[in-house]
Amino acid sequence: MTLTATRPSTTAPPVSRKPASSRRARVPYAFLAPGLVLFTLFLAAPIVYAGYLSLRKVKVSGLGLGSKSRTEVWAGLSNYARSMTDPDWLPSVYRILGYGLVVVPVMLGLALLMALLLDAGRTRPAISGFARLSIFLPYAVPAVVASLLWGFLYLPKVSPFGYALDRFGISAPELLSSSWVLYAVANVAIWGGTGFNMIVIYTALKAVPTSLYESARIDGASELSIAWRIKIPIVMPSLIMTFVFSMIATLQVFAEPMTLKPLSNTISFTWTPLMKVYRDAFVRNDVYSAAATSVVIAVATFILSFGFLKLVGRRAFHQEES
């Protein structure tokens, strides 16, 4: 009887590998993860917490001196009612509406005009590049710094323009007076925001094929006709986007009037809705009313922005209603 020795099998068991498609599908989420974490921590969570605070209030027992004399209790919608019935609320809303009626049309009109002039092809590349940089540069200046610069230019006693007018016997206007302060604040926003909107519109114009312009010129169209009938309709989505951004910035204006406030008695602590939030939270130490006002501003911004996009989106972006 013969015994045959058998070797154990050295073949490794098959290793299950996940398909490459599933691994590739996870790559976008890996890139999005840091942004989602930052969005959650610094935007979503504060919004939720502000909504929570807006429904709470502090109940004071006795003289409010003991450790347990102040307790946080449910307030319902009382903070919203108190905030909306504040006598300073409606004037700040009307003031910000007037501010927006000045800032948004003028800023977008100047941005569109400058973008069309730069795209007209009548300037040399070097001059065009210098012009783009010069127009965009004010956007890189922080709002606080820009407000300080313009604030001192507004004061007749320290402004070089006021000195020049005095030399000619002309009295410099009080630009920070009650009659002009709205336009003075609006000027700072227009100076700082026109360059950004111009770059957005100009980038959209550069993406248009030049064959469209050449065909129009062959047909005898003038530069004005090309701008009105071809360029402006094509960049309409960019105009809509810049309008929405400008509207949101208008509702949230804070830095400019807050910086100019020490230079003028015509700007109160409630000159804009966000300044009212600041006063309630840090001057009156009423974070619950401030949170309610913040939620109202956020909801108004959301409704106006998405309502406007819904109104004009179908025409500007060729969307079909589902």
Closest CA to 128 of 117, 140, 142: 117
Residue 194 parent element (H or E): helix 181-206
Residue 11 banded pLDDT, cuts 50, 70, 90: low
**Structure tokens belonging to residue 106:** 């003028």
The band of 21, judged by pLDDT with boundaries at 50, 70 and 90, is: low
Question: Does the structure show a pLDDT above 90 at 295?
Answer: yes
Q: What would the mean pLDDT of 212-227 be, rounded to a whole number?
A: 86
Residues 6 or more apart whose Cβ sits within 8 Å of residue 171:
156, 165
Average pLDDT over the chain, rounded to whole? 85
Segment among 16-20, 84-88, 259-263 with least mean pLDDT: 16-20
User: CB atoms < 10 A from the CB of 269, how many?
Assistant: 18
Give the residue-averaged pLDDT of 48-58.
92
Q: Is the pLDDT of residue 269 over 60?
A: yes
pLDDT at 268: 92
Cα gap 272→278, rounded to integer Å: 10
Q: Per DSSP, which regions of the chain are E strands?
A: 56-60, 70-74
Domains of the chain with CATH codes: 87-317 (1.10.3720.10)
Confidence of residue 210 (pLDDT cuts 50, 70, 90): confident
